[in-house]
Amino acid sequence: MSTPHNQAKLGEIAKTVLLPGDPLRAKFIADTFLKDVKQFNTVRNMYGYTGTYNGKLVSVMGSGMGMPSLGIYVNELYKFYGVEKVIRVGSTGSYSPDCKLFDVIIAQGACTDSNFAYQFKLPGTFSAIGNFDLLLKAYQTANKMNVPAHVGNVFSSDLFYSASPDEWKKWADMGCLCVEMETYALYCLASYYKKQALTILTVSDSFITKQETTPEERQTGFINMMKIALELI
C-alpha cells in the first residue's frame, strides 16, 4: 500500500507520529533520539522514519508548511495508516511578552484566518482544541524538566507574509500567545477522524522584542520540545 504522498507500507508507521514541519527536523529527531531507525518515506523529500524511543515504537515525519500541506499528510496518516496520535512539534512567533525565545508553548486551542473547516459543512464556527490527556502530560513533563512552558490559544494563519502587518495585534489582544500555520487543521482533522492530536511549539522569534533564532537553531536546536513530545508516546 502507498498513497500519492507516502510510499510506506501498512505496518511501517507507528501509532504515534511526531510531525515537524521541516523534514530535516524529522531526520534530526530520528538520528538523535530513536533507535533501530528505518526510513519509510522520501516522496517529495518529505522524510519519514520509524524507530524506538525507550523501547516504544514511534514515527516522525515532515508535514511541510501551512494547513493545506499538513492536511495532506495528516489525512493520510489517520485514514490510511491507522495512526492514532499525531504530535506536531514546530516553531512559532510569540505574540506575548511572557513567551520568550526557546520557551515552549502547548496549544490548548487554535484560532485561524483560514477557511479549512468549510469542508465539514458546519452551520457555524468550529473551535479546534487539542487532546486534554496529551496536553496535561506534556505540561507535567515540561514542569519536571524545568522547561518554561505556556498553555493557551495559538493563531494558525494562512499567511506568512501579510499585506496588513499589524493585524497580529488584534489576535494578541484576544489572548493568542503566538502564531504558526498548521495547528487549526491538525485539530480539525483529529476531531473528524476521532483521533488524538497535540501541538507543542518552540518560540523561534518574537513580535514584541523582534528577536529571532537562526535557521540552524530552528532545525536542530529545539531539543526540549522534542523530548516533551517523545514522552507522550
Environment class of 37 (CB within 10 Å of its CB; exposed 0-12, middle 13-18, buried 19+) = middle
Q: Would you call 205 a catalytic residue per the annotation?
A: yes
Task: Kindly report the number of other CB atoms within 10 A of residue 78's CB atom.
Answer: 21
Give 182's DSSP letter. Answer: S
Task: Tell which residue, 197, 200, 208, 204, has the closest CA to residue 221.
Answer: 204
Residue 191 falls in which region: left (phi positive, over 0), alpha (psi -120 to 50) or beta:
alpha
Question: Do residues 110 and 184 make contact, with C-beta atoms less than 8 angstroms apart?
Answer: yes
Burial degree of 81 (CB within 10 A; 0-12, 13-18, 19+): buried
Q: How far is CA 189 from the centre of its chain?
A: 13
DSSP conformation class of 152: E
Q: How many CA atoms lie within 13 A of 11 on its CB side?
A: 0
Which alpha helices (DSSP H) does 37-129 contain, by range? Answer: 67-80
Residues designated as active site: 205
